[in-house]
């Protein structure tokens, strides 16, 4: 019956001879009707360590090129669709992804999980299989790493973690692009992350440093509520065994962490999900790690200040730091657009693809 349908379609001109048609028996129609897939497809991005150094280098090279010559990439993802699942509020993530897909010739589709929470009405396993039939990639900004893991285990299209409680790989790529623009290199640099060390930014910055060959000092309160998860420490120890890998240290002293570093990095102390009645206790514990103009004086003379935003002046840093000459926070924000565009093209079209 299927062959008769194909023959009739060819006779009517609806299907040209040689064009590959969708098989009625395929387990994932898109894998066939949307053409051949690159090697290693689908490549899921759960943390920055989901990417090897050479893959990150390839993404950054493309990001620099498409930032300089965006017109070359206007059809890079022609008629492709990105599904964006949001459980947490967002400004930079949603706007940069939607804008990026539009600039690449595709479209970004926002879906609020407040309307239909993952795993409630339908299992995440089923959701992963269903959306794989409709779209070309999916990003997830969610509360738990378990949702990303489960989606990736069942989807037959690339799944990208756009933020969970364990990692923030899209931000990492933007940060790397920004550092290269200002420093010209990554290897051999020294970074310090100070503040709440028990969060996604700390974990992925540690992974990023080790994978890309620079050093990071992590410093925060000596408390079980603020310390790096042990599993992340062990993961980074394993990653550091690769030739050319970077390194990390963990401590509890601000000045020791930032002394003679090239980059100081902060993140919000009051992330989404922090209860209002916890605010006073958190501030009391974290204020010794506030970055001030005096703090920045012990860093290198040409040091930079970074914050992934949103930021609160007077909390994780003072206004004269984030609004000062060393701050590159808005370059970071802009580079979310360019880095994510390069990531999406690489995952959908294949690493090394160029227009």
What amino acid positions are annotated as catalytic residues?
Answer: 141, 168, 171, 267, 308, 336
Q: Are 204 and 248 in contact (CB under 8 A)?
A: no
Q: Is 185 exposed, middle or buried (0-12, 13-18, 19+ CB in 10 A)?
A: exposed
Q: Is 73 exposed, middle or buried (0-12, 13-18, 19+ CB in 10 A)?
A: buried
- Least Cα distance to 351 among 17, 85, 39, 94 occurs for 39
Q: Alpha-carbon distance 69 to 75, whole Å?
A: 13
Q: Measured over all CA atoms, what is the biggest interatomic distance in the chain, rounded to whole angstroms?
A: 78
Q: Are 140 and 147 in contact (CB under 8 A)?
A: yes
How would you classify the pairing of strands 190-194 and 263-266?
parallel
Query: Reading across the β-sheet that carries 107-112, which strands appear in turn?
Result: 107-112, 81-86, 137-141, 159-163
Q: What is the DSSP string of 299-343?
A: S-TT-EEEE-S---BTTTB-HHHHTSTTB-HHHHHHHHHHHHHHH
Beta-ladder partners of 264: 192, 305
Q: Is 8 exposed, middle or buried (0-12, 13-18, 19+ CB in 10 A)?
A: exposed
Q: Alpha-carbon distance 118 to 115, whole Å?
A: 10
């Amino acid at each position: 019956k299927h062959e008769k349908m194909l023959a009739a379609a060819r006779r009517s001109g609806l299907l040209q001879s040689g064009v590959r048609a969708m098989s009625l028996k395929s387990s994932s129609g898109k894998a066939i009707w949307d053409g051949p897939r690159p090697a290693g497809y689908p490549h899921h991005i759960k943390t920055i360590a989901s990417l090897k150094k050479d893959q990150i280098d390839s993404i950054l090279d493309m990001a620099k090129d498409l930032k300089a010559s965006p017109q070359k990439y206007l059809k890079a993802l022609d008629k492709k669709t990105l599904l964006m699942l949001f459980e947490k509020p967002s400004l930079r993530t949603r706007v940069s992804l939607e804008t990026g897909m539009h600039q690449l010739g595709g479209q970004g589709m926002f879906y609020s999980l407040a309307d239909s929470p993952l795993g409630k009405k339908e299992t995440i396993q089923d959701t992963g299989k269903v959306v794989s039939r409709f779209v070309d990639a999916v990003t997830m900004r969610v509360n738990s790493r378990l949702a990303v893991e489960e989606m990736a285990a069942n989807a037959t299209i690339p799944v990208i973690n756009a933020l969970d409680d364990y990692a923030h790989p899209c931000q990492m790529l933007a940060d790397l692009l920004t550092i290269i623009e200002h420093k010209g290199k990554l290897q051999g640099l020294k970074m310090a992350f100070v503040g709440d060390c028990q969060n996604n930014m700390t974990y992925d910055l540690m992974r990023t440093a080790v994978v890309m060959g620079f050093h990071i000092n992590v410093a925060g309160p000596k408390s079980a509520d603020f310390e790096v998860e042990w599993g992340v420490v062990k993961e980074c120890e394993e990653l550091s065994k690769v030739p050319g890998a970077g390194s990390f240290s963990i401590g509890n002293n601000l000045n020791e962490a930032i002394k003679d570093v090239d980059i100081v990095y902060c993140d919000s102390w009051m992330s989404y999900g922090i209860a209002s009645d916890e605010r006073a206790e958190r501030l009391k514990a974290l204020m010794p790690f506030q970055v001030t103009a005096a703090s920045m004086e012990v860093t290198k003379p040409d040091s930079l200040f970074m914050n992934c935003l949103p930021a609160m002046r007077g909390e994780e840093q003072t206004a004269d730091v984030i609004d000062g000459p060393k701050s590159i926070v808005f370059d970071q924000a802009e580079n979310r657009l360019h880095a994510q565009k390069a990531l999406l093209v690489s995952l959908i079209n294949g690493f090394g693809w160029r227009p």
